[in-house]
């Protein structure tokens, strides 16, 4: 009887939502659940960890059934991933797309709250290996959802890196690269028809690492700074993430999609890196992620889009010890593999962490913000007095 009641409620939910645009991200703060590691907690333990942290919105990079089952009945909301290597098959065959949706999404509804499907990740802007299959995969998966009457329950998206942009500073000058436009424009046209947002993986950490001479690290860390001005719009930016988001809005507007929402699907700061990654420290990572949480909790927009509340999924739950590349790639986790915190930003891990003893108290980050603000005000006041 209970099972019948749950499914009856689900049918009513479908009917009620039929005229409403689906939202995969219902909060402002979410997290990415990457699993390229051989030493992390089980999915059931991860659920316990996330519920304790009160993080409701979770993104996966695949469709592992043991993970999806672990989220059943938890109230946590999932975005599952269709990996890049599956795009060719799903794009070429609508029946395969239907089978994929039935096996990996429909089967788990409504017990697991699957709110979205991420079709590929950072497909455009790099090699063109999968670029030609992205739109076809998006359309086939959406059509499968629509035929199953799930298109108003599960949202379709795809995340882009900043490699799709040209001239991203100042924000108003940002446009899509010429070699991306041929794939991007028809994708945006379809997304505008079905109400999907533009999803961006934005890393002030990387922007700072590549442009240390031009970017003040305080600007990247949400700390008090003189900031930056956009000469065309006359808008002022006090942090780099807002500027990156508005650059995306400018590119969308230039392409004819000025009403499309931008959602940050990845952002974070590495806590450890190689010798040439000096900014990858636990102190900087904690400062960025603590201030990011504060920024998102304000539920406000950006200078260019003040009414569009910024939403972001932080990267990531864990340090992933099997990720290839630079050392920083394996050290973006808010938590260590055993569930203890990597550094304190207000979450509680499964175990106490020895890493905390080497870092100054969290209140010093708050104090630094207050002192920095006072310093800027004092500097401006002094400059004004000197004019008289």
Which is the catalytic residue, given 266, 277, 329, 356?
266
CA atoms within 13 A on the CB side of 161: 11
Task: Return all residues near 354 (Cβ < 8 A) that are at least 6 apart.
Answer: none
Cα–Cα distances (Å) from 199 to 120, 202, 263, 371, in that order, read 12, 9, 5, 35
CA atoms within 13 A on the CB side of 128: 7
**253 carries an active-site annotation:** no
Tokens of 260: 């499309």
Which is the catalytic residue, given 45, 122, 189, 226?
122
Please work out, in degrees rounded to the nearest 5, the angle formed at the alpha carbon of residue 178 by the alpha carbons of 173 and 182.
Answer: 125
Per DSSP (E only), the strands in 247-361 are: 262-267, 312-314
Greatest Cα pair distance, the chain, in angstroms, is: 81
Helix H segments across the chain?
Answer: 2-17, 43-53, 65-70, 87-92, 94-104, 131-147, 178-194, 204-210, 217-220, 240-254, 282-297, 363-386
Neighbour tally for 111: CB within 10 Å: 17
What is the DSSP code string of 164-175? Answer: GEE--SSGGG-E
Beta 165-166 vs 175-176: how paired, if at all?
antiparallel
Tokens of 261: 């929402």
CA distance 233 to 247: 12
Cβ–Cβ < 8 Å for 63, 99: no
**266 carries an active-site annotation:** yes
Any idea which residue has 């400018």 for tokens?
250
Residues making up the chain, counted from first to last: 388
Query: Annotated active-site positions, please?
Result: 122, 266
């Amino acid at each position: 009887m209970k099972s019948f009641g749950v499914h009856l409620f689900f049918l009513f939910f479908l009917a009620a939502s039929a005229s409403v645009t689906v939202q995969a991200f219902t909060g402002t703060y979410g997290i990415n659940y990457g699993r390229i590691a051989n030493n992390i907690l089980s999915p059931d333990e991860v659920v316990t960890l996330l519920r304790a942290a009160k993080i409701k919105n979770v993104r996966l990079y695949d469709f592992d059934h043991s993970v999806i089952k672990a989220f059943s009945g938890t109230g946590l909301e999932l975005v599952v991933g269709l990996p890049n290597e599956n795009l060719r098959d799903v794009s070429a065959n609508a029946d395969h797309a239907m089978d994929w949706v039935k096996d990996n999404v429909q089967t788990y509804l409504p017990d697991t709250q699957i709110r979205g499907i991420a079709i590929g990740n950072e497909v455009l802007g790099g090699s063109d290996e999968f670029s030609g299959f992205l739109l076809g995969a998006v359309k086939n998966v959406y059509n499968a959802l629509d035929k199953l009457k799930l298109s108003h329950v599960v949202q379709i998206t795809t995340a882009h890196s900043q490699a799709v942009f040209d001239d991203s500073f100042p924000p108003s000058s940002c446009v899509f690269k010429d070699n991306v436009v041929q794939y991007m424009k028809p994708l945006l046209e379809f997304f505008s028809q079905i109400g999907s947002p533009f999803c961006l993986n934005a890393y002030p950490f990387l922007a700072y690492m590549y442009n240390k001479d031009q970017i003040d690290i305080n600007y990247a860390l949400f700390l008090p700074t003189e900031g930056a001005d956009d000469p065309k719009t006359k808008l002022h930016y006090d942090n780099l993430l807002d500027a990156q988001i508005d650059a995306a809005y400018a590119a969308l507007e230039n392409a004819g999609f000025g009403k499309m929402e931008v959602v940050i699907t990845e952002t974070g700061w590495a806590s450890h890196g190689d010798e040439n990654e000096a900014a990858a420290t636990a102190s900087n990572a904690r400062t960025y992620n603590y201030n990011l949480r504060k920024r998102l909790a304000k539920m406000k927009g950006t200078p260019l889009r003040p009414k569009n509340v910024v939403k972001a999924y932080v990267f990531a739950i864990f340090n992933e010890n099997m990720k290839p590349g630079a050392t920083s790639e394996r050290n973006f986790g808010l938590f260590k593999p055993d569930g203890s915190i990597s550094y304190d930003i207000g979450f509680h891990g499964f175990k106490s962490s020895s890493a905390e003893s080497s870092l100054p108290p969290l209140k010093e980050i708050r104090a630094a913000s207050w002192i920095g603000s006072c310093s800027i005000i004092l500097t401006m006041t002094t400059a004004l007095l000197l004019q008289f």
